[in-house]
Amino acid sequence: MPDGYHIRHQRVMKKRVIVIGGGVAGMQAALRLREQGVEPLIVEKEPELGGKLRGWHVLFPSFTPAAEVLTELRRRVKEQQIEVRTSAEVRGFTAGGVLLADGQLLPCDAVVVAAGFTLFDASIKEEYGYGIYDNVFTSADIERMLNEGRVAKADGSRPRRIAFLHCVGSRDEKVCQQHCSKVCCITGVKQAMELKRLFPEADVFNFYMDIRMFGPGYEEMYREAQQTCNIHFVRGRISEASPTIDGRVQIKAEDTLTGRPLRMSVDMLVLLVGMRANDDNAALAEGAGLLRSPSGFFAPRDLFLGNVRSNVEGIFYAGAVTAPKNIGETLNEASAAADAAAQYVGA
């Protein structure tokens, strides 16, 4: 038979892996699958690729613009001609196929779940007044404002005192979020430094339970925030916030290092919201026979030797779908998940 027939036949028979989620993990997993000779398909529920990275300003600890990372990943996906389906919500899946909300069934040989996480809804913590009082923001709001080039109080004026509150929706049994979201501490340090540079005359405070600087360069960044930027770190949790007559926010807290109560008025209160498991994890896990951890995230087969494998053959995990992670960890894990999936399908 002509050589061209064999080439076309090989292409038809190429193994297909569907990647659920088109964020950082999903794009990296698809790129690695392509390198391994597997045909990837990205299924993304949003209208465009990028996930949470689309709303980020700069990345810690290097202050690299998030747009640089996002643009490069998108460029590689396009260059490699990876098939992408956007605005496509997943209703269920098995190792052999993915069912979309519109009823389409997409057949495949394996699945990589890279559906990420959901940000905690700060309005649940009513004592902080998010969505009720002016000048109470979340860390996601600050990233959006930084991207828009306009960080200001609700009336458009410059803030002179800013308070960041750590662990909103993390390590909190009252809202059933007992896990640590891991990146909130460094996010608070990063954003505090960014706002201090924008408003050098402002006093900037970080209220925390514990400062967890776990990554390379994080401790150095924390020291720079204190020593160079003169950002104040107060060990103690804010108990409540209330509006003042002049449009500011009064906060009550306790400095647990000195044992003294503390009360101050601030121009901006920033709530560092944590990561939580996606709402549809329970239904998807039940449909596919997957295990979940107590936090609601998907549980890998083994935390050490099988951290990208699920308890079901042919289903793999990448990124923050199993636990909170930073961008670097997510990219590395996506490559590992793709390698495991490629090995499974015999690529």
Q: Is the pLDDT of residue 324 over 50?
A: yes
Q: Is the domain of 112 the same as that of 166?
A: no
Q: Is the domain of 136 the same as that of 198?
A: yes
Q: Is the domain of 209 the same as that of 293?
A: no
Q: Is the domain of 144 the same as that of 55?
A: no
Apex 29 CA angle, 27 and 30, nearest 5: 65
Q: Is the pLDDT of residue 62 over 60?
A: yes
Q: Give percent above pLDDT 90 in the chain.
A: 93
pLDDT of residue 13: 62
Domain count, the chain: 2
Q: Distance of CA 189 to CAs 164, 186, 223, Å?
A: 9, 5, 10
Q: Distance of CA 314 to CAs 114, 292, 311, 343, Å?
A: 14, 17, 9, 10
Q: How far is CA 171 from the centre of its chain?
A: 17
Q: Is the pLDDT of residue 68 over 80?
A: yes
- For the segment 261-272, the average pLDDT, to the nearest whole number, is 96
> How far is 315 from 9, CA to CA, in rounded Å?
27
**Treating both helix axes as pointing N-terminal to C-terminal, what angle do 24-35 and 66-79 enclose, rounded to 10 degrees?**
40
Q: Is the domain of 133 the same as that of 256?
A: yes
Q: Is the domain of 138 the same as that of 93?
A: no
For 151-207, the pLDDT digits (tens) are 999 999 999 999 999 999 999 999 999 999 999 999 999 999 999 999 999 999 999
Q: Is the pLDDT of residue 2 over 50?
A: no
The amino acid at 118:
T
Identify the band that residue 4 occupies on the pLDDT scale cut at 50, 70 and 90: very low
Q: Is the pLDDT of residue 12 over 80?
A: no
> How far is 118 from 343, CA to CA, in rounded Å?
30
Give strand pairing partners of 110: 17
Q: Which of 274, 304, 337 is the C-terminal boundary of a domain?
A: 274
pLDDT of residue 108: 98
Q: Is the domain of 139 the same as that of 74?
A: no
Domain span at 73: 3-117+277-345
Q: Report the mean per-residue pLDDT for the chain.
A: 94
- For the segment 64-74, the average pLDDT, to the nearest whole number, is 98
Q: Token pair for residue 101?
A: 């909300």
Q: Is the pLDDT of residue 249 over 90?
A: yes
Q: Is the domain of 259 the same as that of 281?
A: no
The residue ranges of DSSP E strands in 95-215, in sequence order, are 97-100, 105-107, 110-113, 118-119, 136-138, 161-168, 203-208
At residue 36, the 3 state secondary structure works out as: coil
Q: Give percent above pLDDT 70 in the chain.
A: 96
Q: Is the domain of 107 the same as that of 200?
A: no
Q: What are phi and psi of 207, to 5 degrees?
A: -100, 125
DSSP code of 309? B
- For the segment 245-269, the average pLDDT, to the nearest whole number, is 92
The answer for residues whose C-beta is within 8 angstroms of residue 222's C-beta and 6 or more apart is: 186, 189, 211, 213
C-alpha closest to that of 334 among 71, 98, 17: 17
C-alpha closest to that of 27 among 47, 45, 46, 51: 51
Q: Distance of CA 21 to CAs 29, 41, 51, 292, Å?
A: 10, 10, 8, 18
Query: How would you class 100 by CB atoms within 10 Å of its CB: exposed for 0-12, middle for 13-18, buried for 19 or more?
Result: middle
Q: Which of 274, 299, 316 is the C-terminal boundary of a domain?
A: 274
CATH code where residue 332 lies: 3.50.50.60
Which H or E run includes 317? strand 315-317
Q: Is the domain of 258 the same as that of 324?
A: no
For 27-59, the pLDDT digits (tens) are 999 999 999 999 999 999 999 999 999 999 999
Q: Is the domain of 95 the same as that of 146?
A: no
Which H or E run includes 237? none
For 197-244, the pLDDT digits (tens) are 999 999 999 999 999 999 999 999 999 999 999 999 999 989 999 999
The amino acid at 2:
P
Q: Is the domain of 146 the same as that of 229?
A: yes
pLDDT of residue 92: 98
Q: Which of 224, 245, 274 is the C-terminal boundary of a domain?
A: 274
Q: Token pair for residue 90?
A: 């997943």
